[in-house]
Amino acid sequence: MAQPRTISLFAAALIALAAGCATQDSRAVARLTESDASPSTAAAKFTGTWRGWFTQIGSDGHVTGNMTLVIMDDATYKLTSTRSGRGDVGGRPSNDSGVVVANDRSVTLRSSAGAQSITLMRKGDTLYGLTRASSGHTIQIDMERTSSVPETP
């Protein structure tokens, strides 16, 4: 009786090991596929002109404005934002540029000026997300793709 039980345990262990290896291999292949996508290939999905707005949330102050994001074919970007409001703070555009790091569901804007990176999620032709302004306030961003061709901001 001991011999069939030993064989059964050995067979069960072998099946479990094979199943574990198969699962591990499929995850490794999935990770390899995601990480092997070149930055320019992933960024190409975001190439074009995006226009939208930003607004401060969760605070007593109120900052709003418009934004234009242009993502180039070479995985670089130019971001122009214009704050609305009082005459002393509204109307003057703020410019930023840098490198785009993208995957299927999000894009991260890494500023060449050393400013904080901004990560935006994508849903169809919409980019949206939250970031922290230099003042420490939380800013909500929402943009729609207006063209798949990069335009001058």
Q: What is the value of pTM for the model shown?
A: 0.68
**pLDDT value at position 143?**
97
What would be the CATH architecture of the domain defined by 41-147? Answer: Beta Barrel (2.40)
Q: What percent of the chain has pLDDT over 70?
A: 65
Query: Helix, strand, or coil here: 135?
Result: coil
- 70 vs 114, more confident: 70
**pLDDT value at position 150?**
82
Mean per-residue pLDDT, 100-122: 91
Mean per-residue pLDDT, 128-135: 88
- CA-CA-CA-CA torsion sign (88, 90, 96, 102): positive
**pLDDT value at position 118?**
94
- CA-CA-CA-CA torsion sign (9, 11, 12, 16): positive
Reported as a single tens digit per residue, the pLDDT across 59-86 is 666 789 999 999 999 999 999 999 887 5
Instruction: Tell me which DSSP letter residue 136 carries.
Output: S
- 1 vs 33, more confident: 1
Residue spans per domain, the chain: 2-36, 41-147
